[in-house]
Amino acid sequence: MLTGRKIHLCVCGGIAAYKAVETVRLLQKAGAQVQVAMTANAQAFVGPMTFQALTHAPVLTRTLDPGEEMAIGHIAFAQSCDVLLFAPCTANMLGKIAHGLGDDVVSTIALAAPVGRTPVLIAPAMNTAMWENPATQANLALVSARGYRVLLPDAGALACGAVGPGRLPEPEALVAAVMEALAPRPLTGRRVLITAGPTREPIDPARFLSNASTGKAGFAIAAAAVRAGAAVTLVHGPVTVPVPPGVEAVAVTTAREMHREVMARWAVADAIVMSAAVADYRPAEVFDHKVKKLDGPMTLTLVRNPDILAEVGAARTGAHPVLVGFAAETGHPVEYARDKLVRKRCDLIVANDVSAPGAGFGTDTNLVYLVTAEGAEPLPLQSKEAIGQRIVDFLAVRLADGR
Ligand code: CTP
């Protein structure tokens, strides 16, 4: 239910604007107080009077209106609600939001929205060719990366005669998305520390030892933990994936730097997930000049790096903080994971066989086992995002148990 919740709805100019009317009614039926803002083009499809009559509140139609509408104001409209919903959001409005333009009331509301603190949902609706246009797709990626939640359009017959993706989801689905955005977040008030990506161990100013980790898995866990309401710190090695919105990122290069940053923070964490592919060894000597090649073989002497996971496992008291490690194996992942679980004193080892198809470094999917003292649960091949969510669900259960 949405009793007492304030939902502010921005309507843009598309045929799907008629669905916004039914959405208002359903939101109100669920107990919400709704206010509406409209672009000029939206008013060509549905009159402001319709929304005004339904909501018993003035409809915001212009940025610079004198009188009553100024009393609401686009800034207050953006900042005084529990959920801000753009439905339908046209390709043009999506572009304005992605690029920070504010030349009408709805785009200025988007600019003033406290994304990250208040859920901002964008429900695009447009012709299939416009939806598939690389510019639209790039704009979608931009707004998603900045923390706006995009509700993907349905596929089907469109008003323009085309068949394909672009239809605004039905009002029931829009209301369900609003409810989900307001659902209790199980990690609210918890601190989660995550390590991700590779480390680089320098040989000389031009060369280093590293591995094929891209950080995708750990970054997906960080995004899931933020969605669950946690304060997330992500200590990561050199990666190219973007830091998820709302995450405190600490960039490091070497294993020893990662070790230092984790040791400074682990004791205040409620849960720690170490997904980083930390180099076990580093060159004993780092040359201050580029090493010149010689005829014949060359020998590099390597020394052990600190094992961050094992150190935290040994230092924690009982099962606090909850500790999750990763194991990337080529064969017998469960056996090795069981050993690691005990040896590094973890609550969960996420074990994967990096040699399996669709699993391991650089892929978007992974095939993992969740190995705990209770047993090994094989998960089906799925996206790293979905696996991140499963790990966060595990943290939530363990923290709620107080084990
Ligand atoms: N890890 C760590 N510090 C290290 C090495 C590994 O924190 N110096 C963590 C990784 O982040 C991961 C887990 O330990 O969570 C992976 O361990 P792995 O390197 O596979 O384990 P090892 O015990 O080094 O494996 P093996 O004994 O098979 O070499």
User: pLDDT tens across 61-80, in order?
Assistant: 987 665 554 446 889 999 99
State how far the Cα of 220 lies from the Cα of 402, in Å rounded to an integer: 25
Q: What is the mean pLDDT of residues 87-102?
A: 98
Which residues span the domain enclosing 25?
A: 6-181
In-domain check, residue 186: no
CATH number at residue 95: 3.40.50.1950
The rounded Å distance from CA 206 to ligand 1 centre is 26
Task: Tell whether ligand 1 has an atom less than 6 A from the beta carbon of residue 309.
Answer: yes
Shared domain for 242 and 365, answered yes or no, is yes
Query: What is the reported pLDDT for 64?
Result: 66
| Last residue within a domain, chosen from 121, 155, 181 | 181
Shared domain for 106 and 204, answered yes or no, is no
| Last residue within a domain, chosen from 158, 181, 204 | 181
CATH number at residue 259: 3.40.50.10300
In-domain check, residue 351: yes
The rounded Å distance from CA 195 to ligand 1 centre is 12
Query: What is the reported pLDDT for 158?
Result: 83
Task: Tell whether ligand 1 has an atom less than 6 A from the beta carbon of residue 278.
Answer: yes
Task: Tell whether ligand 1 has an atom less than 6 A from the beta carbon of residue 385.
Answer: no
In-domain check, residue 391: yes
Read off the pLDDT of residues 154-206 as tens digits, 9 standing for 90 and up.
Answer: 998 888 888 899 999 999 999 999 999 998 889 999 999 999 999 999 999 99
160 in catalytic set: yes
Task: Tell whether ligand 1 has an atom less than 6 A from the beta carbon of residue 276.
Answer: yes
Q: Is the pLDDT of residue 353 over 70?
A: yes
Mean pLDDT of the chain: 94
Query: What is the reported pLDDT for 160?
Result: 81
Task: Tell whether ligand 1 has an atom less than 6 A from the beta carbon of residue 327.
Answer: yes
Shared domain for 55 and 104, answered yes or no, is yes
Of 213, 256, 274, the one to substitute when testing ligand 1's pocket (max ligand atoms within 8 A of C-beta) is 274
pLDDT band of 403, cuts 50, 70, 90 = low
Q: Is the pLDDT of residue 151 over 70?
A: yes
**Which of 347, 260, 249, 250 minimizes the C-alpha distance to 306?**
260
Q: Is the pLDDT of residue 147 over 90?
A: no
The rounded Å distance from CA 208 to ligand 1 centre is 19
Shared domain for 45 and 128, answered yes or no, is yes
Q: Helix, strand, or coil here: 329?
A: strand
Shared domain for 127 and 220, answered yes or no, is no
Pairing of strands 281-283, 271-274: unpaired
In-domain check, residue 1: no
Shared domain for 92 and 232, answered yes or no, is no
Task: Tell whether ligand 1 has an atom less than 6 A from the beta carbon of residue 221.
Answer: no
Q: Helix, strand, or coil here: 230?
A: coil
In-domain check, residue 53: yes
Of 260, 309, 332, the one to substitute when testing ligand 1's pocket (max ligand atoms within 8 A of C-beta) is 309
Read off the pLDDT of residues 217-228 as tens digits, 9 standing for 90 and up.
Answer: 999 999 999 989
Shared domain for 236 and 348, answered yes or no, is yes
Report percent pLDDT > 70 for the chain: 98
The rounded Å distance from CA 357 to ligand 1 centre is 22
Shared domain for 290 and 311, answered yes or no, is yes
Task: Tell whether ligand 1 has an atom less than 6 A from the beta carbon of residue 325.
Answer: yes
Q: What is the mean pLDDT of residues 133-138?
A: 97
Query: What is the reported pLDDT for 358?
Result: 81
Task: Tell whether ligand 1 has an atom less than 6 A from the beta carbon of residue 86.
Answer: no
Number of structural domains in the chain: 2
Query: What is the reported pLDDT for 72?
Result: 60
The rounded Å distance from CA 327 to ligand 1 centre is 7
Shared domain for 26 and 172, answered yes or no, is yes
Task: Tell whether ligand 1 has an atom less than 6 A from the beta carbon of residue 199.
Answer: no
Q: Going by CA atoms, what residue is nearest to atom 14 of ligand 1? A: 309
Residues 6 or more apart from 137 whose CB is under 8 A from it?
A: none
The rounded Å distance from CA 307 to ligand 1 centre is 7
Read off the pLDDT of residues 287-300 as tens digits, 9 standing for 90 and up.
Answer: 999 999 999 999 99
The CA distances from residue 19 to 16, 153, 249, 376, 397, in Å, are 5, 13, 40, 47, 38
Q: Going by CA atoms, what residue is nearest to atom 6 of ligand 1? A: 278
Shared domain for 342 and 372, answered yes or no, is yes
In-domain check, residue 303: yes
The rounded Å distance from CA 311 to ligand 1 centre is 11
- The pTM of the full predicted model, rounded to 2 decimals, is 0.76
Shared domain for 143 and 208, answered yes or no, is no
Q: What is the mean pLDDT of residues 49-57?
A: 97
Q: Going by CA atoms, what residue is nearest to atom 27 of ligand 1? A: 340
Task: Tell whether ligand 1 has an atom less than 6 A from the beta carbon of residue 230.
Answer: no
Ligand 1 atom at minimal distance to the Cα of residue 306: 8
| Last residue within a domain, chosen from 149, 181, 213 | 181
State how far the Cα of 313 lies from the Cα of 341, in Å rounded to an integer: 10
The rounded Cα 195 to chain-centroid distance in angstroms is 16
Place of tokens 């801000």: 84
For residues 244 and 204, the answer to whether their CB atoms sit within 8 Å is: no
Q: What is the mean pLDDT of residues 255-272?
A: 98
In-domain check, residue 284: yes
Sheet architecture: strand order including 368-372: 248-251, 231-236, 191-196, 271-274, 322-329, 348-353, 368-372, 375-378
Task: Tell whether ligand 1 has an atom less than 6 A from the beta carbon of residue 16.
Answer: no
Shared domain for 95 and 228, answered yes or no, is no
State how far the Cα of 189 lies from the Cα of 345, in Å rounded to an integer: 25
The rounded Cα 120 to chain-centroid distance in angstroms is 14
Of 256, 278, 303, 348, the one to substitute when testing ligand 1's pocket (max ligand atoms within 8 A of C-beta) is 278
Read off the pLDDT of residues 363-401 as tens digits, 9 standing for 90 and up.
Answer: 888 999 999 999 999 999 999 999 999 999 999 999 998
State how far the Cα of 163 lies from the Cα of 144, in Å rounded to an integer: 25
